[in-house]
């Protein structure tokens, strides 16, 4: 009989993928075979959702050193001054980040330092582009949009070269910046200085700012579909595809929730509140179906903002009402987190077969 201590664990498979011994598809196939032999999913304890910023304090230490070192290089170059330096300095920093990523990302497989270098690379391209285009005599909107697009293209090249999942988040953030820059009018942007329904809630309302809100909604749908494309190729969540999907879900959820929730709330009255509650229930069900706590967590941030706007929009709201709303929200989040596995299992069993259901993360067949 095999020694249990010598059995291959999911961590072993992830390490083998990172080391290039097996591909992600091969690792997923091995995991699926083991699960089918055991009769239930055992790839991750309690159907947990893997997430990793760093593997040890050494990565934090190296990241701090990289931030200080890059800052020193930038300060040294700025000391020379001049427009040419302001344009080339960010590009030099981006080139250094690309160079060092060959060691820290490809060779050492250090996650947090790789994230720091990716941010430095994307920021360098954006700052250099916007500095150069700002003095080109173009319209005020064009330099911003073009700089976001160039930075997004740079991050696409970074992802293709280094396969860093976090770089997909930066790429999406630059793409979202380009979308916002193209669709936001000066009138809608002035809503950031407002409050209640004339402020941010109006900016993301499909009726009050249709162009801006539709662009946000379209971006959210696109990011969500991209995330699901990665998710369905790594249902056991062993490698890069799943980690990339996580960061895309973090981008998609706020864009979707902001637009849908605020538009429904601004309907006003009982109809608006009931519609908002129904939309949040659908979002919770969707998060359970795709088994993404990260998706629901990102959405909850904006749900909390909606609650705060509700309080600001009401006259005479006292501290007791605020406390009760926090209690209700906290109880909902705690309940979902505690009983996530049985809730998802019950929901997936209740749903009929639909395209792609078998490509989602497996769920417990028994209580």
Confidence of residue 235 (pLDDT cuts 50, 70, 90): confident
Dist. CA 257–CA 266, nearest whole Å:
14
Asked if residue 9 has pLDDT above 90, the reply is: no
**Percent of the chain scored above 90 by pLDDT?**
16
List the structure tokens of 293.
């706590």
pTM, whole model, 2 decimals? Answer: 0.77
pLDDT score, position 84: 65
126, 174 contact by CB (below 8 A): yes
pLDDT score, position 315: 45
201-221 tens-digit pLDDT = 566 777 777 788 888 889 999
Most distant CA pair in the chain: distance in Å? Answer: 76
List the structure tokens of 169.
């988040």
> Would residue 46 be called left, alpha or beta, if left means φ above 0 and alpha means ψ between -120 and 50 degrees?
left
Sequence-separated (6 or more) residues with CB below 8 Å from residue 292? 49, 231, 245, 246, 249
Q: Which residues of 139-149 are buried (b: 16+ CB within 10 A; e: fewer)?
A: eeeebbbbbbb
10-31 tens-digit pLDDT = 767 777 777 777 777 677 667 6
Rounding to the nearest 10 degrees, give the CA dihedral for residues 69, 71, 77, 81: -170
Dist. CA 127–CA 25, nearest whole Å:
38
In the block, which residue shows the tokens 């860093």? 164
The HSE-up count of residue 185 (CA atoms within 13 Å, CB side) is: 11
pLDDT score, position 257: 82
287-344 tens-digit pLDDT = 889 888 877 776 776 666 556 655 555 544 556 656 766 776 777 788 888 888 888 8
- Share in percent of the chain as helix, strand, coil (round to 5): 75, 0, 25
Confidence of residue 186 (pLDDT cuts 50, 70, 90): low
pLDDT score, position 335: 83
27-54 tens-digit pLDDT = 766 766 665 544 434 444 445 566 667 6
The HSE-up count of residue 58 (CA atoms within 13 Å, CB side) is: 5
Asked if residue 188 has pLDDT above 60, the reply is: no
The HSE-up count of residue 306 (CA atoms within 13 Å, CB side) is: 25
pLDDT score, position 173: 92
pLDDT score, position 199: 52
């Amino acid at each position: 009989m095999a020694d249990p201590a010598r059995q291959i664990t999911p961590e072993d498979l992830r390490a083998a993928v990172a080391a290039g011994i097996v591909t992600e598809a091969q690792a997923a196939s091995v995991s699926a075979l083991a699960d089918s032999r055991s009769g239930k999913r055992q790839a991750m304890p309690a159907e947990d959702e893997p997430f990793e910023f760093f593997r040890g304090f050494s990565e934090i230490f190296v990241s701090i050193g990289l931030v200080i070192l890059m800052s020193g290089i930038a300060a040294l170059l700025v000391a020379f001054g001049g427009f040419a330096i302001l344009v080339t300095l960010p590009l030099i920093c981006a080139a250094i980040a690309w160079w060092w990523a060959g060691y820290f990302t490809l060779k050492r497989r250090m996650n947090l330092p790789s994230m720091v270098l990716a941010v430095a690379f994307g920021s360098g391209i954006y700052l250099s582009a916007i500095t150069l285009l700002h003095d080109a005599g173009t319209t005020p909107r064009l330099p911003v949009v073009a700089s976001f697009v160039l930075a997004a293209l740079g991050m696409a090249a970074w992802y293709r070269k280094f396969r860093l999942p976090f770089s997909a988040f930066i790429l999406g953030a630059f793409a979202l910046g380009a979308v916002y820059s193209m669709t936001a009018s000066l009138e809608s942007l002035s809503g950031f200085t407002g409050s209640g329904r004339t402020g941010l809630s109006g900016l993301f309302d499909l009726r009050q700012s249709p162009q801006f809100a539709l662009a946000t909604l379209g971006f959210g749908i696109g990011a969500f579909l991209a995330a699901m494309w990665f998710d369905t190729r790594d249902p056991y969540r062993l490698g890069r595809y799943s980690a990339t999907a996580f960061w895309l879900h973090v981008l998609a959820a706020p864009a979707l929730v902001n637009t849908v929730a605020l538009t429904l709330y601004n309907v006003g009255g009982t109809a608006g509140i009931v519609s908002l509650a129904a939309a949040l229930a659908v979002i919770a069900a969707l998060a359970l179906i795709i088994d993404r706590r990260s998706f629901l967590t990102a959405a909850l941030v904006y749900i909390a903002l909606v609650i705060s706007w509700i309080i600001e929009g009401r006259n005479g709201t006292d501290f007791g009402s605020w406390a009760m709303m926090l209690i209700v929200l906290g109880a909902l989040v705690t309940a979902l987190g505690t009983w996530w596995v049985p809730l998802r299992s019950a929901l997936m069993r209740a749903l009929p077969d639909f395209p792609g259901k078998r490509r989602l993360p497996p769920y417990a067949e028994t209580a």
